[in-house]
A and B are shown apart, each in its own frame.
Chain A
Amino acid sequence: MNRRAFFKLSWGTVGVGALISAMGVSFAAVLRYLMPNVFYEPPQSFKIGTPGDFAFGAPTFLVEEKIFVFRDRDKGFSVASAVCTHLGCTVAHFQSDQKFHCPCHGSVFLPDGSVQHGPAPRALDWFEVTLARDGQLRVDKDKVVPPTYRLMV
């Protein structure tokens, strides 16, 4: 290889390499730009009211938060997600059979949230519920707990 060919190859490699990396970095920057730094969405952890607000027996469905709040006389509070694990539709709780039914693709969840049948890939989530210092119940959707979790008040 002579001098000229050597420089052609080396500078060519540097040039093409620089171009490709510049394009790669730019593309990555565009992707990163499209990922918001701040989500103006409802918080994952929130208060839902005092224990006295909730009746025994049938669960209370909270519309905005998409959760079911169960209150059992002996066992206490538990909170289940109302978002179907299949494609995100909101499930309904039937008093008649105590199961959760998804309207979109017909998934049925047992009272403990596990899948009875239908395309749902996994059980409904149960969220941690605690008592805040002001006496209100606090639910944290980032903390998934086993279905046996209960808060006694």
Chain B
Amino acid sequence: MNLIREIWQSIVRRDSLSTDKGKSELVFLNVWLHIHPAKVKKENMKFRHSFYLGFITFFLFLILITTGIALMCYYRPYPPQAYQDMKDLQFVVFMGPFLRNMHRWAAHGMVVCVFLHMCRVFYTGSYKKPRQFNWVIGVFLLLLTLGLSFTGYLLPWDQLAYWAITVGTNIGSYAPLIGGQLRELLLGGHSVGEGALIRFYVLHVAVLPAALILFTIVHFWRVRKDGGLSRPVWKLKQKTEDLVTIGAPAQLAPLTVPGSSTKTYGLMEVVTGKPIFETVTPEEEDDTVFSYPYAFVREAVTLMATVTTVMVMSLFLNAPLEELANPAKTPNPAKAPWYFLGLQELVSHSALLGGVVAPALMVLALIAIPYIDRNPSRRPQDRRWILWLFTFFVVANLVLIVIGTFFRGPGWALVPPWVHVVGGAE
């Protein structure tokens, strides 16, 4: 028994979790857990503050990595084998449809949750100083998520995939000066073919996930360095400039650290000036609890709820697979993935304006938000016009997506969803 205890001790190397020291050591002696602080603010853990959307997005990404690696074992990125492999996954491979469904629904869920997370961060004003640049990284993460979805869309090599990518890459070719070459670079040829499939595969399984992971690490790190989640708006004080000074101003009284019976300090360096991040003032100390178990339990429950939801969806809803890609026959109507249907709706009016100019401006505007909106207040009553502006942006996008998804029939004609069109125009 002593040997077992010794082995266990050599692994965890911390005190018992019944002590506060053990609870802290669990966090900061563990490379995976130390992205958490040892103690978190109670208010920040409230579900109604963040809806845990960032966590859900991250957990969906974990599902995507694991199911994606499993799917790779049966997939050859070469036409027409790629399509045969999809059929195999559908009908021959043990649990193949379930894994493919999980990958599909987690991917759609990730697009939704990234977007909702962005809305939450916007409406709570959490992109404001000092978090401006983390918002920009978030915009990159949104674009990477869309890029992963788009590249994954081609891999089944069915009609849906083929035509969505044909339309999607042709939109890119309208970009001035470099458009045509950009498309050739992406496709490795002049049309969507075997060259395009292998390139999309490489982007989908190696380049984009690596980029997403790197950006995610920076994203999390900065959240942590900025004092964890932003404070809930309802906890904000009247004054916004309430950062505390941890160092004593130069040539003044030496630093005094507030005493506490529960906290032992390891003081490494005394510096002067204000920290850029929110800190816990001594009065707020009472509002904090140890990450273990309070934060970890919430995260574990969120993870389980996310996985369960995706699994249940995957049991009942099947990922679509149409017939083999046929370059000669365009399905009518040919639609891009739903999250790009707003874009396609714009493109149906003008390819250059709708497909290149409008999305480029949208992305630039998103990136610029924290640098344009320099009003330091996070309270809704102080930031009315920008809330309206952002709401307009969200609603416009949703309306365009709904029109593209439900109101467009053969020949991209306006057809309400309750009208049934027999056959297409052919």
Contacts and interface: CB of A to CB of B under 8 A. Distances in A.
Interface string A113-133: 000000101000000000000
A86 interface: yes
Interface in A87-139: 87-90, 92, 94, 101-106, 119, 121
A119 B348 contact: yes
A53 interface: no
A63 interface: yes
A92 B166 CA distance: 17
Contacts of B163: 89, 104
Interface stretch (A3-11, A35-43, A143-151): A35-43
Given A89-B167, A90-B329, A104-B412, A34 B348 contact: no
Contact of A88 (B166, B344, B350): B166
A104 B408 CA distance: 10
A121 B167 CA distance: 15
B413 A89 contact: no
A39 B190 contact: yes
Contacts of B147: none
Contact of B193 (A41, A64, A103, A105): A41
A16 interface: no
A101 B411 contact: yes
A63 B410 CA distance: 21
Contact of B347 (A39, A41, A119): A119
A87 B190 contact: no
A103 B424 contact: yes
A31 interface: yes
Nearest to B183: A88
Interface in B170-195: 170-171, 181, 184-185, 188-191, 193-195
A118 to B, nearest CB: 8
Given A119-B350, A119-B351, A106 B167 contact: no
Nearest to B169: A88
B347 A90 contact: no
Contact of B330 (A40, A103, A121): A103
A34 B349 contact: no
A52 B344 CA distance: 42
Contacts of B6: none
A66 B330 CA distance: 11
Given A88-B167, A88-B170, A35 B191 contact: no
B327 interface: yes
B189 A90 contact: no
B333 interface: yes
Nearest to A41: B189
Contacts of A105: 344, 347-348, 412
Interface in B133-173: 163, 166-167, 170-171
A34 B425 CA distance: 40
Given A89-B330, A89-B334, A92-B425, A36 B171 contact: no
Nearest to B188: A36
Interface in B340-392: 344, 347-352
B189 to A, nearest CB: 5
Given A40-B194, A41-B189, A86 B351 contact: yes
B184 to A, nearest CB: 7
Contacts of A66: 327-328
B189 A36 contact: yes
- Interface centre among A34, A63, A89, by most chain B C-beta atoms within 10 angstroms, is A89
A103 B331 contact: yes
Given A34-B185, A106-B413, 20 more contacts: A35-B181, A39-B189, A39-B195, A40-B195, A63-B328, A64-B328, A66-B327, A87-B347, A88-B170, A90-B328, A101-B411, A103-B330, A103-B332, A103-B412, A104-B167, A104-B330, A104-B334, A104-B412, A105-B344, A105-B348
28 contacts: A35-B181, A35-B185, A36-B188, A39-B190, A40-B194, A64-B328, A66-B328, A87-B166, A87-B171, A87-B351, A88-B191, A89-B166, A89-B334, A90-B327, A90-B330, A92-B425, A92-B426, A101-B425, A103-B332, A104-B163, A104-B330, A104-B334, A106-B411, A106-B413, A119-B348, A119-B350, A119-B351, A121-B352
Interface of B: 163, 166-167, 170-171, 181, 184-185, 188-191, 193-195, 327-334, 344, 347-352, 410-413, 424-426
